[in-house]
Chain A
Amino acid sequence: MASIAREFSPRYECHRDDLVSIDVSGLERVFLRRSVLDTREGDGPSASGVGAGPHASQKNPARSVWRVIGEELRREAASRRVRVHVAVAGSRMAALVLAHARPGVTIVEPDGEAGALAPLAIGILEKVIDDRPQTSDVRLQTFAALKRWGLKTLGELAALPSADLASRLGRQALVWQAIARGDDVRPLVPTLEEERFESSMELEWPIEGLEPLSFVLTRLLEPLSTRLERRDRGAAVLHVLLRLVTKDVHARRLELPVPMRDVRALRTLALLDLESHPPAGAIDRVAIVIDPTPGRVLQHTLFTRAQPTPEQVSTLLARLGALMGQDRLGAPATVDSDRPGAFAMMPFATEHHHDQRRTRGTRREQDEQDSALRQAQGIPSVSRDAGSAGSALNVVSALRRCRQPVPARVAIDNGRPVRVTTDRRGFVGGTVVNCAGPWRTSGNWWADRADGADRAGGAGGAGVSNAAGPTHLPHQPHQPYWNRDEWDVALNDGAVYRIFQDRDSEAWFIDAIVD
C-alpha cells in the first residue's frame, strides 16, 4: 500500500499494512487534463476497489478530478493485483471511515462529509479507531454505553450535544463524535521513507596511499554526518566501498559498537581498518554507505568523573588492535576453573555506567561466602576490603604470572626445596631461605588427553586466550590437564617465587613471582 501511495503523493500516512491515507490536495493540476479528456469522451467513472483514504481540499476543481484520482488509485492497485477501496473526502477521517464502509471509489462532495457518514452503522468506528491495549477497555465500555442509549448510526452520534456526551462518557466520546461528523481529530503525519546515507566520489586520478584517501573520506563523511545529525541518527555499520583501477571492488564493513556520527572517529576507524586490510590496487572511486540507527541520547551529570566517550574508546581499541593485535587487548575476566593462572579476555566495553553500589554489594556478599568457606576449612580469613579500595591497611599480595613457566633446577633436602637455579636470564636463583608447601593441585585429568591437545592447539596454543576459549594454559599449553605440587619459596636475594613440580614429568618450573 505504501508503494502505491508513494506513486501519487509524498504526503501519505501508513496506518496499517492495509490502510493508508494520502493527501491528494495539489494533485488536481496533474490529473486535470485527464479529467477533461475523460469528460469529453463521456467515460463514466467506474466504482470498485479497496480502501485508501485521501485527503482532498474542499474547494476548487471539479468533482470529476477527484474521481479520476480515485480511479487511478484503484487502477494502480489492480495492476499490482491488489483490490482496494478508495474514498476521496474533504477530511482524512471521513475518507478513512468511508473507505472501510463502502467498496469501490467513493467521492464526497465538499462539506458533505457529515451527510455521507450519517447513515453508516456506528460499529464502523471500531474498525477505524486504533486498538491500542490501553484504550481497548475504555472503548468497550463506551460502545456498551452507546448501545444502551440505542444509538445505531454515526448520524445519531453526531447529533448528540457535545458537552453532555463528554460529561457522561469522557473525552474519548468526543473523539468519536468528531469522527462521526467527519472532522479530523489530528493532522496527517506523513510517513517518511527510510533515508539512505551514502555518498561517493569519482576520482580523476587514482590514489594509492591511505593519506590521500583520508581527505576523500573526510569529504564524504562530513555531509553524511550532518544528515545523520539532522535525522537524529547514528551510524551502526559503516561500509567503505573502494573501486580499484582493476575494476574490482574492495569492500569493508565496520560494525560500530555504539551509534556514532563523529567524522574524525569514523574516518580513523575506516583508515585503521584499511591499514589492516589494504586494497590490492589504486583506487578510482570511493563510496561510503552508512546503515543508520537511532541516535544515542546521553544525559551528562555533574557528579561523576569524566570518562572516555564511546567514540574515543572505539578509536583507541582500533588503534591498539592495529598496533598490538586484536587478541592482545581487552578486559580480563576470571574463569570458573582451579587451573593456576586461568583467565579470559573479554572485549573492553565502550560504555561504562557508574554503578558502584551494586558492585560493592556483590563483592561484599562474595566476601562473606569466602570467609565462611575459609573458616570451615580452618584457613585464616582475609577480608577483601582489607586490601581493596577505601579502608586499606594491608595490601593484597599479588603475583606476576609467567605465561610460559620457567624451567628450573631445584635441589631437595629432606623433602623440601633448598636451592633454586635456572638458566634463564634475569632469574638468578639462589638458596632457599624459607618455603611453604607443598600444595597439590590437579585438574581436568578426566578429559581425553588427545582430544584436549587438539582443542588447546586449535584455540591458539600458548599465551592466547579469548572469550571463545577462556582458559589460559600456563604450563604445557598442549595439555589440558595439570597435576603439580606447588611451593612458595623465598630466596636469599629477597625474591619470593611460586615454583612447582610437574608430577608427571617430575620437572620443576617457576610459575610466578610474588610481587
Chain B
Amino acid sequence: MPLARADLESLLRTRRLDRTLTTALPPLDPAGLPDEYVCAPTGHTALDARLGGGFPRGQLSEIVGPRSSGRTSLLLQMLAAATARGELVALVDALDMLDVASADAAGVQLDRLLWVRGHVVSNPGMCRDLNQRAVEQAIRAFTLVLQAGNFGIVAFDAGEAPMDAIRRLPFTTWMRLQRLIEGSQTTGVLVGSESMARSSAGLTLKLGIRNLECGMRGIRFRPRLFEGVDIEARVVRARARAHEDVRVSLSTTCA
C-alpha cells in the first residue's frame, strides 16, 4: 500500500531527514496559524503577513541586497521585535559597523543584545589574508553563539565584507551551521550583499531600492533632510514556499 505524502513527511520528520528536502515544510502549529515559536516576527506587519509569520526558527535565513537597500534597518527591526518579546539576541558584526544610536532608535533593548565586534576591514591593503582570517574568526564566533543555544535571533552581519573573503569559506561551513541550528528555537540570520548559504539557507530575502531606475524616486529627500528609502523585499528562496513569488514594499524613515 503506497504511503501518502503526509505519512512520508511524518516519517522523515521523525528521522530528522525532512530538512534535506528543499520542499520540506516547517512544522506548523495545530491551528495552522503563524506562531512566534515557529517563526520570529520581523516586527513589520506587512512583511510578517507575507512571510507567514516571520523568519523561520531553526533555520539559517538570509537578508541580502546592495548597499543602502535597508538590510541593516530590517535586521535592527527584527532584533527590536525579538528583544521586545523578552528574547536574548546576538549580533556577530564582522566589520564592526553597528551604529548603536540606530539600534537604540529602532527600539532594540541594548542590554539584551550581545554584540560581537569583528576585525574584518574593508580595505586590507596588501594583507589580503587578513580579512580571510577575520571572516573565519567571525564565523567561529557565530558558531559559538549558535552552540550556546536559546538565543532568539543570532545574526551574522557581513554586509560590507569583501565577497571574495566570504566565497573562500568552505561551502560545508553553511551546511554545518544549518545542521547546528535546526531543531532549535533560534533564528539564524545572515546579512550580506549576496547570498552566502545558498541551498543551506532557509529563507532568503532580497532587498532593493524601489524605482531606482526611475530617477531614484525610491530615495526620499526633503529640503536639507534625508527622509528615508522605499524598499522592495522579495523572497528568492524559501523552503516553505518554493514556488511562491512573495514581494513586499517597505519604507524606512529617519528617526
Residue ranges of A at the interface with B (Cβ–Cβ < 8 Å): 304-309, 312-313, 315-316, 319-320, 323-324, 328-334, 341, 343, 345-346, 348-349, 352, 354, 356, 359-360, 363, 382, 384-403, 406, 424-427, 433-437, 439, 463, 488, 490, 492-496, 512-515
Contact = CB atoms under 8 A, between A and B. Distances in A.
B187 interface: no
Contacts of B251: 394-395
Contacts of A384: 105, 107, 255
Interface string B122-160: 110000000000000100110011001111100000011
Interface residues of B, number: 83
A436 B97 contact: no
- Secondary structure of the B contact surface, majority rule: mixed
Contact of B100 (A309, A343, A388, A393): A343
A426 B162 contact: yes
26 contacts: A307-B87, A307-B150, A316-B144, A320-B145, A332-B103, A341-B99, A384-B255, A387-B106, A388-B106, A395-B73, A395-B74, A396-B73, A397-B70, A397-B255, A398-B102, A399-B99, A400-B99, A400-B159, A401-B98, A426-B162, A436-B225, A463-B96, A492-B216, A494-B219, A496-B219, A514-B229
B45 A393 contact: yes
Given A305-B85, A389-B85, A324 B141 contact: yes
B99 A401 contact: yes
Contacts of A352: 88, 111-112
Given A323-B144, A389-B107, A495-B68, 11 more contacts: A307-B150, A313-B148, A316-B145, A320-B116, A334-B100, A390-B43, A396-B76, A396-B254, A426-B123, A463-B96, A490-B68
B115 A332 contact: yes
Given A331-B114, A387-B105, A434-B216, A392 B45 contact: yes
A392 B77 contact: yes
A388 B107 contact: yes
Nearest to A345: B115
A436 B117 contact: no
Contact of B117 (A329, A389, A400): A329
B116 A324 contact: yes
A435 B226 CA distance: 7
A399 B254 CA distance: 10
Contacts of A439: 224
B244 to A, nearest CB: 23
A212 B216 CA distance: 63
A7 B185 CA distance: 58
Contacts of B144: 316, 319-320, 323
Contacts of A356: 84-86
A463 B96 CA distance: 9
Shortest 9 CB-CB distances between A and B: which pairs?
A: A388-B107, A389-B84, A343-B100, A488-B226, A389-B81, A397-B252, A398-B102, A515-B72, A399-B99
Contact of A515 (B87, B105, B159, B254): B159
Contacts of A494: 66-69, 209, 212, 216, 219
Contacts of A345: 115
Contact of B97 (A305, A394, A395, A403): A403
Given A305-B85, A390-B43, A434-B221, A395 B96 contact: no
Nearest to A428: B67
Contacts of A490: 68, 216, 219, 221, 226
B253 interface: yes
Nearest to B107: A388
B113 interface: yes
B48 to A, nearest CB: 9
- Among A387, A426, A434, A512, max chain B CB count under 10 A is at A387
Nearest to B254: A397
B250 interface: yes
B85 to A, nearest CB: 7
A363 B159 CA distance: 29
Contact of B72 (A309, A329, A398): A398
Contacts of A513: 67-68, 97, 160
Contact of B252 (A385, A396, A435, A495): A396
B80 interface: yes
B105 A396 contact: yes
A488 B219 CA distance: 11
Nearest to A385: B107
Contacts of A398: 72-73, 75-76, 99, 102-103, 105-106, 252
Contacts of B162: 425-426
Contact of A392 (B43, B122, B152, B159): B43
B112 A397 contact: no
Nearest to B110: A332
B118 to A, nearest CB: 7
B253 A387 contact: yes
Contacts of A515: 67-73, 159
A51 B228 CA distance: 83
